[in-house]
Amino acid sequence: MRHYELVFVLKPTLTEEERKQIVDSVKELITSNGGEIYNFEEWGRRELAYPIQKFNSAYYYLVNYKTENPELPILLERNLRLNEDVIRFLNFKIKPEKKEEVAEAVEV
């Protein structure tokens, strides 16, 4: 099982309904192609470090997912690249935390 972390940034001019529709389509794409989302975070509107497409702020989202399908990250990146409302994204493979390491971190 491969674990991935996806962070994507949406234009600040989108309405809440449009943002929800894009997020739902990303989630649907992951689950319909053999992926399982185990963490989703909406970070909200934040200032960008530098202007991107003349925008100074954007809406950030984090999705952690796992899959056996090696084609899913490629398909996901292709769809995000084609969506004009996504101004940046980063999708990368991560090593899952072992349960022992998490327990030790909590005890400290």
Cα within 13 Å of Cα(94), Cβ side: 14
Q: Give the pLDDT of the chain (108 residues) as one tens digit per residue.
A: 899 999 999 999 999 999 999 999 999 999 999 999 999 999 999 999 999 999 999 999 999 999 999 999 999 999 999 999 999 999 999 998 776 555 555 565
The pTM score is 0.85
What the block records as the tokens of 83 is 């969506």
Instruction: Name the β-bridge partners of 4.
Output: 65, 93
Count of other CB atoms within 10 angstroms of residue 27 = 15
The residue segments making up the domain with residue 42 are: 2-107
Tell me, what CATH number does 63's domain have?
A: 3.30.70.60
Question: In this predicted structure, what is the pLDDT of residue 26?
Answer: 96
